[in-house]
Structure 1
Amino acid sequence: MNGSTHARPERLVLMNPGPVITDDRVRKALSGPDMCHREPEFSGLLTRVRHKITLICGGDERHTSVVLTGSGTAAVEAAISSAVPRDGALLVIDNGHYGERMWHIADAHGIRAHRLELGWATPVDLDAVDRALAVDPGLTHVGVVHHETSSGMLNDVAAVTRIAHAHGREVILDAVSSVGAERIGLAEDGIDWLAGSANKCLEAAPGLGFVSAAKAAFENLADAPRRTYYLDLYRHHTAQEKSQAPAFTPGIPAFYAFDAALDLALAEGQDARHARYSALARRLRDGLDALGLEILLPPGQRAASLTAVRLPAGTGYPELHRGLRKEGFVIYSAQEQLAADFFRLSTMGRMTEQDIDRFLETLARTLPNRG
């Protein structure tokens, strides 16, 4: 062997917004024993996980959760396709890729939708939401993304919910990239339907999504349209609440990991996790500023767990990704209209200050004229 062989980094730092670096206890939980999903052992595991999710989402005794074997998108699709009634319609607040995705999901299920297209990385226009609901009484639900991961923007969903409720409408919230780290609460904020994922700010393994809502709301789905079979929330709720069993074969190892990750999240607390993520993000953003790199959003609009950064002139994303990957860092491209000019850096998961410092040092060496 010659001396040019590049040493493999001891630690691979995932700076993509999920799946994330997990705690050793979460990874260890994945190797739990083989289990039949129709036996009491899994019933107990399922019930524990559902209860912990509801607590994480700020629910109380009025609320419950349904767990799905699928991604966060599966949870969002389950909520939209199940909650909007036959004669209902969805107002979609679109200021990024995932708001647009809600509109596409509604369209795929033949649900009438009004797309309030604000433009990527544009704050929610609350007056426009108010006007749209006022002029179209047929809009029964409002779809909004909490953390719009395409740009790193944190939308004011509490304000959106207040407006929606003033008009007598329900809110379907995509909290896939926010729940666990950003302040949100079913009870406190009155969120009607909250869709989330195990493998982002809740720091579990990928493979599970969930929907949390009032127990009465799930029960009211009995007469709702059956637009889908696998993602029918009433089917899952009936199985999980009445029989303490899954409707279909679940990803059992992912449940083991999620149970462990939820324990860690509850022990840390939402405020402490938000503070941990925010501190890492500040450390990263201060370093990016020092390197002269432009961050997409102003400080007041940024989520705690993701930063969109402009690519320096003369640097393409593929070469930047390759160079950093060799040094043990996985970065993430921007999407669609931002892809040519930006890349994204997540501070989700079990990242450390040392990871951030080493990344900034490596980035400085990698970028031209930034050493």
Structure 2
Amino acid sequence: MVLMNPGPVITDDRVRAALAGPDMCHREPEFSDLLTRVRHKTTLAAGGDERHTSVVLTGSGTAAVEAAVSSAVPRDGALLVVDNGHYGERFQHIADAHGIRTHRLELGWATPVDPAAVERALAADPGLTHVAVVHHETSSGMLNDVAAVARIAHAHGREVVVDAVSSIGAEHIGLAEDGIDWLAGSANKCLEGAPGLGFVSAARTAFEGLAGAPRRSYYLDLHRHYTAQEKAQAPAFTPGIPAFYAFDEALDLALAEGREARHARYSALAGRLRDGLEALGLEILLPPGQRAASLTAVRIPAGIGYRELHRGLRAEGFVIYSAQEQLAADFFRLSTMGRMTQADIDRFLAALARTLPARA
């Protein structure tokens, strides 16, 4: 089955084999070594340098995002939420759950981020200490200019929290290069690991500075995890050890391939897919300059519903993905993350061509 959903993705055989690693006690030196390796490689993948480090959590990418927001925003702080899709809106829900004051900059789904609007919002409210923005907004497939948002935030003396869950590993983003203060990611999307691990990458001084921060969460307290992982080289709680084995292998593959090469591989697959979709007369939601390399939102053609389309393509060996909320009635999504091949794309387009006339 070819997974065209945006995570979990098709993984390399070596990643899947790593899941069957030996049983291990997480309080023994073997796991300390594994944890330290994974943290170091994660920081490299996040574009960090000697100033940066990472905390790896057993949990989804959303766990990492929630850990970053609930830990980084101080007790008297507030969050500017840049919202142009489902995952921007999720920042708002996370802040609400933890009683963090927000200003929500609602731009509209599939609407590019307006840097001038971000600047105006920060200038109007000095109490906003942090800016939250999604890099790859997978509800639409839009790639947001987080580097521009970070520059504006820093010009106003604010920090930026970036949801890079669906971008890190394949898109141009880096802690040092882009001046990102807090970067939340996941093992199982463009880094091509197995599901079950999220991470937060930041400057060491930023993690150290959380010592006096409010403890809004027990399990997702970043300072608790940082102290355990950095000082004791041990997890704060029982980790998903098989997922660590797989992530260790996936990070080796990602770093060996390199971000530029992976971006080029994903872009080539997406280009082949998009050309084929347009040749079939299908409409793509976003114009080319706004699209991420790893996901395409496509209008559902007249005369067929999503369930019927999903069922027909699944019978052909392909899993597609519905759009969310306000886009769900009219669009579906196709990911080109993971170990997909050009042959997979060609077979998918042929299957789609067979499916549409038979049912539309």
Q: What's the TM-score once normalised by structure 2's chain length? A: 0.99
Provide the rounded CA distance (Å) in 2 between the counterparts of 1:226 and 1:237. 14
Kindly, what percent of the aligned residue pairs are identical?
A: 87
Tell me if 1:187 matches 2:172.
no
Corresponding residue to 2:107 among 105, 115, 118: 118
2:265 is aligned to 276
1:106-136 per-residue CA deviation (whole Å, 9 max, x = no partner) reads 0000000110000000000111000000010
What are the within-5 Å matches in structure 2 for residues 60-75 of structure 1?
60-75=49-64
Contact 2:45 2:255 in 1 (8 A): yes
State the one-letter code of the partner of 1:289: E
1:341 is aligned to 330
1:255 is aligned to 244
Provide the rounded CA distance (Å) in 1 between the counterparts of 2:338 and 2:225. 29
Provide the rounded CA distance (Å) in 2 between the counterparts of 1:189 and 1:362. 41
Contact 1:364 1:370 in 2 (8 A): no
Q: Any unmatched runs of 5+ in structure 2?
A: none
1:302-325 per-residue CA deviation (whole Å, 9 max, x = no partner) reads 000000000001110000000000
Corresponding residue to 1:164 among 153, 158, 177: 153
**1:369 Cα deviation after fit:** 7.2
Provide the rounded CA distance (Å) in 1 between the counterparts of 2:285 and 2:222. 37
2:276 is aligned to 287
Provide the rounded CA distance (Å) in 2 between the counterparts of 1:113 and 1:248. 31
1:53 is aligned to 42
1:307 is aligned to 296
Provide the rounded CA distance (Å) in 2 between the counterparts of 1:178 and 1:117. 22
Contact 2:303 2:359 in 1 (8 A): no
Contact 1:98 1:149 in 2 (8 A): yes
Provide the rounded CA distance (Å) in 1 between the counterparts of 2:60 and 2:323. 20
Contact 1:164 1:170 in 2 (8 A): yes
1:204 is aligned to 193
Provide the rounded CA distance (Å) in 1 between the counterparts of 2:93 and 2:12. 35
**SS where residue 357 of structure 2 aligns?**
coil
State the one-letter code of the partner of 1:172: V
Provide the rounded CA distance (Å) in 2 between the counterparts of 1:205 and 1:74. 15
**SS where residue 132 of structure 2 aligns?**
strand
**SS where residue 296 of structure 2 aligns?**
strand
Structure 1 outlier segments of 4+, above 4 Å: none
2:321 is aligned to 332
**SS where residue 103 of structure 2 aligns?**
strand
Provide the rounded CA distance (Å) in 1 between the counterparts of 2:48 and 2:348. 38
1:24 is aligned to 13
Q: Any unmatched runs of 5+ in structure 1?
A: 1-11
**SS where residue 273 of structure 1 aligns?**
helix
Tell me if 1:146 matches 2:126.
no
Provide the rounded CA distance (Å) in 2 between the counterparts of 1:352 and 1:44. 34
1:264 is aligned to 253
**SS where residue 367 of structure 1 aligns?**
helix
Provide the rounded CA distance (Å) in 1 between the counterparts of 2:307 and 2:352. 14
State the one-letter code of the partner of 1:239: A
2:345 is aligned to 356
**SS where residue 368 of structure 1 aligns?**
helix
1:159-196 per-residue CA deviation (whole Å, 9 max, x = no partner) reads 00000000000000000000000011101111000000
C-alpha RMSD of the superposition: 0.9
**1:368 Cα deviation after fit:** 2.3
**1:370 Cα deviation after fit:** 9.8
Contact 1:203 1:261 in 2 (8 A): yes
Provide the rounded CA distance (Å) in 1 between the counterparts of 2:240 and 2:14. 18
What are the within-5 Å matches in structure 2 for residues 97-112 of structure 1?
97-112=86-101
1:3 is aligned to none
1:18-66 per-residue CA deviation (whole Å, 9 max, x = no partner) reads 0000000000000000000000000000000000000000100000000
Provide the rounded CA distance (Å) in 1 between the counterparts of 2:355 and 2:177. 46
Provide the rounded CA distance (Å) in 1 between the counterparts of 2:138 and 2:72. 24
Contact 1:239 1:246 in 2 (8 A): yes
Provide the rounded CA distance (Å) in 1 between the counterparts of 2:289 and 2:359. 27
Provide the rounded CA distance (Å) in 1 between the counterparts of 2:7 and 2:214. 32
Provide the rounded CA distance (Å) in 1 between the counterparts of 2:212 and 2:251. 33
